[in-house]
Structure 1
Amino acid sequence: MTGQHDRQDWCGEFTAEELSAIRRQVPHAIQRSQERSARAHTEYDDPDGDQDVYGAGMSRGVQKELRPLLANLSSYSEMQVPRSRRTLTFLGDALIFPLRVGKQMPRNHRRIRLNYLPESRRELLEQTSNTKYVDAGLFELDETPGTEQPARLDDALTLLSEGDTRATLFVPYYSSSPQGVGTIYFAPARLNGRYLEFTDPERLTYQVPVAGEEPAAVLAPVGGFADGDRPRTTVKLRPRPTEKEDS
């Protein structure tokens, strides 16, 4: 199955209210993280008091901004990873895991290489990889067992699952630079080696808040060398020389 038919399949994972919230709030969370990063040198104001700079829309910063935007949904839940500062965000059985892919979105946006993949994150992505919306046998996971890690995710994911229910990985992924946010996609994802494979990604767009909503902060352009306010001086005319001075 390909194209729009695939998207209709995986969209069934969410209610109409959840899909509407994802399409609207994910871009807002990314924009909020970008704005917080832009003013980090003066008023970082992290909600948890962390001093980590989000960078150009750092993924953990986006997840932190997204949580309060989705928290009013009845299917929303959080789960703290044992012996870790990471909090997992769920809508029903869907794990929402934001990911920044770099300064530019790759041309093949259905397959993203993960340059940084620690074992604990590999474990999370493997255990929640999408198996519902791809043809059987299309992707093969590396089943090589890894070394024991101090922060295991087995217990957290086991608590989430009931019977045969299995959490499915959904990734809002985006490009960004200090100048702004680029392209944003959302799709179910499956880990294949060091790559994430996406089934029929849906492109998300940032919607400017309508009248009555709190507007997003307007970012000043990033200054370059010697930029800044300059003092203004009064222009004075040079006096004309007299005839005696000319002679």
Structure 2
Amino acid sequence: MEAQYEGDDWRSEFLPEELAAIRDRVPTAIHESQDRSARAHTAYNDPDGDQNVYGAGMARGVQKELRALLSDLPSYREAKVPNTRRTLTFVGNTLIFPQRVGKQMPRNFRRVRLSYLPESRRELLAKTSNVKYSDPGLFDIEQILSDDQPASLNDAIDHLEIASPRATLFVPYYSSTPRGVGTIYFAPARLNGLYLEFTDPELFTYQQTPASVEQTNVKLKPVAGFAGGERPRTSVKLRQLPAELERS
């Protein structure tokens, strides 16, 4: 199937069926991981037996859920980073790297500061940073590639063979708490210092699969509460007037 978007639109990076799957399954992966992670202290139920607190549970859980949901796409592939627990997820020539931004989405959702960026992850994000789909004036390439940022890549990153052809970094980024998931965006990303900067972010929505028809049509019985329950039946009696009122 032919692409539906122009070459300068990042959506042209995906086939229509790939983009439809990403739009549908990324929010599902985030919500399913949030449901697991919110119960981390009692019943995380991770497929690998991990017992994670909420933050670590989301960081690892979303990637696991996403790999399972996207694995049926023909262009899907994985790459294990040696000596780490991380497995990278690719669809076509894009690296899909989920990122939780905190409890709330920043007001400037086109530029998000990373609170934790180890050196190996910095190298990975720098290696794959978006250089194809940039809004005019949004990025300064000279600044991105300045000398104050590490230029060397370790053997683990080179081993992934993502430089030929060069993969483009795409980030599903979202806010969440143990009580629920907030806003979800998806866009090509570029690393600038401690910030990820996004081109034309698309808002993703979560479409929850409805329960079966039989379940949705079940009429629930009222729960006893205020003025609830059976009332005793009593006979009606006329009120007796005082004797002095009867004689008046």
- TM superposition score category, shorter chain reference: 0.7 to 0.9
Q: Where does residue 138 of structure 1 map in the other structure?
A: 140
> 1:1-247 to 2 correspondence within 5 Å?
9-55=9-55, 58-134=58-134, 135=136, 138-139=140-141, 140-141=143-144, 142-144=146-148, 146=150, 152-156=156-160, 158=161, 160-162=162-164, 165-210=165-210
Aligned-residue Cα RMSD (Å) equals 2.7
Per-residue deviation at 1:154? 1.7
- Relative to structure 1, is the Cα distance of residues 95 and 81 closer, same or farther in structure 2, using a 3 angstrom cutoff? same
Structure 2, gaps ≥5 residues long: 216-248
Amino acid at match of 1:93: N
- Deviation digits for residues 114-168 of structure 1 (CA, Å, limit 9, x no counterpart): 1111101100000000000115973421434649887731221x2x444xx1010
Per-residue deviation at 1:106? 0.4
Structure 1, gaps ≥5 residues long: 216-247
Contact residue 119 and residue 149 of structure 1 kept, 8 A: no
Amino acid at match of 1:45: N
Percent of paired sites with the same residue? 63
Amino acid at match of 1:59: A
Separation in structure 2 between the aligned mates of residue 192 and residue 145 of structure 1, nearest angstrom? 9
Amino acid at match of 1:77: R
Separation in structure 2 between the aligned mates of residue 76 and residue 108 of structure 1, nearest angstrom? 31
1:12 partner SS: helix
- Deviation digits for residues 209-231 of structure 1 (CA, Å, limit 9, x no counterpart): 14669x9xxxxxxxxxxxxxxxx
- Deviation digits for residues 14-51 of structure 1 (CA, Å, limit 9, x no counterpart): 01111111111011011001100122233211111222
Amino acid at match of 1:119: E
Separation in structure 2 between the aligned mates of residue 28 and residue 8 of structure 1, nearest angstrom? 28
Q: Which has the higher contact order (CA 8 A, sep 6+)?
A: 1
Separation in structure 2 between the aligned mates of residue 129 and residue 201 of structure 1, nearest angstrom? 15
1:170 partner SS: strand
Task: Please identify runs of 4+ aligned residues in structure 1 that moved more than 6 A.
Answer: 5-8, 147-151
Worse-matched range after superposition: 7-16 or 199-208: 7-16
Per-residue deviation at 1:63? 0.7
With normalisation by structure 2, the TM-score equals 0.75
Amino acid at match of 1:143: D
Contact residue 83 and residue 151 of structure 1 kept, 8 A: no
Which is higher, the Rg of structure 1 or of structure 2? 2
